[in-house]
């Protein structure tokens, strides 16, 4: 992205991410295009930079986040990295509650920015982290600012004001379907709402894991999860269930066939977008399907094994 003048801080680099056409995986489609919003181009490496920045800025503006306070929230990784990065840039203390089995790469990045990490039960997933952070805040409410990304209206507002208008401009108003994974639901709710205002006939479709116990980190199986307060299923035109295997396989294909090294939630989003596009093409309809790739693949790389010291002669 071209920047005409220096930015005041790295926080100003959030947003305005590129939209790229998926060509090889969609080459068999007649009259239907698929485009992906590359949120890995945000400075913190994920779509969560947008929501984290909006929640921080809004809280600073209305006095909920004061100088010297500590921001604390639950996260499966990407929002935590965003909080940590922005905390370093804006001079804020950050504590993060996350399942202990979150990928090592995300933990290393968050710690590198100076955040304190608090482990929650890995068997309870993101819901366990939510319960633990609520208990910590209730025990010492004066110590923390708790943005609560699952209930904070500034989360979807970031996408209503940013992601939605960007997609509309980048597609020249031709987008017909928006397909997006559900985590906190901020991206699909905020972006979908704005695009619906601009094109009422547009279809908003959410992607969720097929199984309650799944391997699509960052996504929620809503029927068996704590439902975020910002989530309103009545605003969706439908949901697509994607298996863990399908998400992982598609992430590998995106890397090999499109040159896009993205995470498994991106793979699931692409699998959903391709399903929608193929259905349109099979009916002889035209369309422009847009999806969101939340982050990059290196967030999911396993920690390398420790190097062995050479044996003595």
Sign of CA dihedral 187, 193, 199, 202: positive
Q: Are 162 and 193 in contact (CB under 8 A)?
A: no
Q: What are phi and psi of 241, to 5 degrees?
A: -95, 125
Q: How far apart are CA 7 and CA 146, in angstroms?
A: 28
Catalytic residue among 48, 76, 185, 266: 48
Q: If DSSP codes are grouped into helix, strand and coil, which group holds residue 36? A: strand
**Which position among 95, 126, 265, 266 bears the catalytic label?**
265
C-beta of residue 181 within 8 angstroms of C-beta of residue 206: yes
Is 234 noted as a catalytic residue in this protein?
Answer: no
Integer Rg of the chain from CA: 19
| Alpha-carbon span 179 to 204, nearest angstrom | 6
Distance from the Cα of residue 13 to its chain's centroid: 17
Give the side-chain half-sphere CA count within 13 A for 195.
Answer: 37
234 burial via Cβ count (<10 Å: 0-12, 13-18, 19+): exposed
- Told to judge if 243 belongs to the known catalytic residues of this protein, a careful annotator would answer no
Angle at 125 between CA 119 and CA 127, to 5 degrees: 95
User: What residues act catalytically?
Assistant: 48, 265
């Amino acid at each position: 992205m071209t920047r005409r003048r220096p930015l005041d801080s790295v926080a100003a680099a959030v947003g305005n991410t590129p939209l790229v056409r998926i060509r090889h995986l969609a080459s068999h489609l007649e009259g239907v295009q698929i485009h992906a919003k590359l949120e890995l181009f945000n400075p913190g490496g994920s779509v969560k930079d947008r929501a984290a920045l909006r929640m921080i800025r809004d809280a600073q503006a209305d006095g909920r986040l004061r100088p010297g306070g500590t921001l604390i929230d639950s996260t499966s990784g990407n929002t935590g990295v965003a909080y940590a990065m922005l905390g370093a840039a804006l001079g804020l203390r950050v504590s993060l509650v996350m399942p202990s089995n979150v990928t090592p790469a995300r933990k290393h990045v968050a710690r590198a920015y100076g955040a304190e990490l608090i482990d929650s039960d890995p068997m309870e997933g993101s819901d366990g982290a939510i319960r633990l952070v609520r208990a910590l805040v209730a025990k010492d409410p004066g110590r923390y600012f708790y943005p609560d990304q699952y209930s904070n209206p500034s989360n979807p507002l970031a996408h209503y004001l940013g992601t939605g208008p960007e997609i509309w401009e980048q597609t020249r108003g031709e987008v017909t379907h928006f397909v997006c994974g559900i985590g906190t639901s901020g991206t699909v709710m905020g972006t979908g709402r704005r695009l619906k205002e601009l094109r009422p006939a547009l279809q908003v479709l959410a992607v969720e894991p097929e199984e309650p116990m799944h391997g699509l980190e960052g996504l929620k199986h809503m029927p068996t999860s704590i439902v975020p307060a910002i989530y309103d299923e009545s605003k969706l035109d439908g949901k697509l269930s994607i298996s863990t295997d399908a998400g992982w396989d598609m992430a590998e294909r995106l890397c090999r066939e499109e040159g896009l090294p993205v995470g498994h939630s991106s793979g699931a989003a692409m699998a959903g977008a391709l399903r929608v596009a193929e259905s349109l093409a099979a009916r002889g309809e035209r369309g422009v399907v847009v999806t969101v790739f939340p982050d990059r693949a290196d967030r999911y790389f396993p920690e390398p094994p420790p190097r062995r010291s050479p044996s003595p002669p």
